[in-house]
Structure 1
């Protein structure tokens, strides 16, 4: 093969790779998530080639890597707390019910901001002899007139999208308390990575919350399990419990089980008890 032929073949390969990568960006942005397997089959190349494409596109800031694939940077804009309140209502109610059943009178619990933790706060309004420490406006408002519940608001800077208190003042307040249980909200939770959020300061606060509790529960309906919508992550403690519903991907749940995370399928739990699916 002549040098000219070699150059021509290299140009052709480069052109084909550029076209493939442009199509990957388009697919990730319009379809939301694209897996390595789907992309490999679509373009007729190996999974290793696709992973190299994804690494290059991520380095160029054109896509975001996710668990098992990629997504466009604008594929999942952050939804406000108000928008999320009506999503997966039945699953959130079941998750909140199971969590309520774990709480013992006299405990101090920590409620993160979020729609599912807000559902839990709503079920604690008639509780007796309970102290609730919260970083979320929803929990504070719902428990404001509950005579059996003492409410401690962390304070700090209010982030309107999540209606959560974040920043140094909230972090300082956390150093003055310890809790029996922490119930954490999330935009997504991924095996080996932890809790995904849209804001770095919020992930920092979540890590501090979890460090102040004896037991940690992550409340995530099925759509959020394995979902990596943003680039900010909160690392998990050595032991924690994922509370989800039966719509969660079983293959992803298996990976949590391998990591010795306790898994609760809340909509399989009767009102009077609890059940582990680990």
Structure 2
């Protein structure tokens, strides 16, 4: 099979799983690792993938991956992460959930919780939690972002400032080596920062693909959070920093 025919399949795997590995693709296609390295080099040169050690990931930049594509990325990992996060949220608690496919997974994991108050700027989260009769849902109004059902802007932030909740659960688009949480939309970042300021405890839900991506706008540092829920151990230097910051790291098995 030539690279021309492999390329769409390679990109489909990358979109579905967040990354591809040289060894995994060589086994999948029944070709040599040298052949796969050439394929990835060509896709990287075309701007369709970004090379990393041992494989490639979807390219970083100043714009995010499309919402529907993000929804399918690492779906199993997000579900496992969400289950661990939801298990750390007791019933009869108040919770913020922000914009993102990872926080939507947390909303699904909270469907059996009772006596919750959930404040969200994510229309998708609200639509998920409407199925839970034991959950009161407050939607923080603002400007609707049609691409993903998010609500952003000054009205959203003012609505959030009316609350002081037990838990904030946020996602991010990237997590860098210094422990900074990054995203693409300045308005969304401002909302996330407001959410963190209005919560007693703050959680991050982020699959390991976020360790390998970049984004231009800083939300906060892991030092500002109480716990990180992910599916793979953090890089050793960052894990050491988290220990010094007393930020707990929970890795979903």
Do the two structures share a fold, i.e. TM-score over 0.5? Answer: yes
Cα shift at 1:159: 1.6
1:85 is paired with a residue whose SS is: helix
CA offsets 1:233-268 (integer angstroms, 9 cap, x no match):
11246343111112654454344444442211122x
- Within a 5 Å distance, the mapping from 1:26-175 to structure 2 comes to 32=50, 74=61, 77-175=63-161
For 2:163, which of 165, 173, 177 is the aligned residue? 177
> 2:76 & 2:94 partners in 1: Cα distance?
27
> 1:102 & 1:263 partners in 2: Cα distance?
12
TM-score, normalised to structure 1, is 0.66
Point out the structure with max Rg over C-alpha: 1
For 2:231, which of 245, 260, 269 is the aligned residue? 245
- Within a 5 Å distance, the mapping from 1:191-210 to structure 2 comes to 191-192=177-178, 194-210=180-196
Cα shift at 1:86: 1.4
For 2:217, which of 193, 211, 232 is the aligned residue? 232
> 1:241 & 1:114 partners in 2: Cα distance?
18
Cα shift at 1:160: 2.5
**Greater relative CO, 1 or 2 (CA 8 Å, sep 6+):** 2
CA offsets 1:92-132 (integer angstroms, 9 cap, x no match):
11111111111112110011111111011112223211111
Report if the CA contact (8 A) 1:180-1:213 is conserved: yes
Cα shift at 1:31: 5.5
> 1:161 & 1:153 partners in 2: Cα distance?
18
TM-score, normalised to structure 2, is 0.72
Report if the CA contact (8 A) 1:191-1:226 is conserved: no
Cα shift at 1:200: 0.6
Q: Which of 235-244 and 131-140 deviates more?
A: 235-244
> 1:73 & 1:149 partners in 2: Cα distance?
37
Query: Where does structure 2 lack aligned partners over 5 or more consecutive residues?
Result: 1-43
Report if the CA contact (8 A) 2:174-2:183 is conserved: yes
Cα shift at 1:158: 1.3
Runs of 4+ that moved beyond 3 A: 26-31, 71-74, 236-239, 247-260
CA offsets 1:169-198 (integer angstroms, 9 cap, x no match):
000001100110011011012244522111
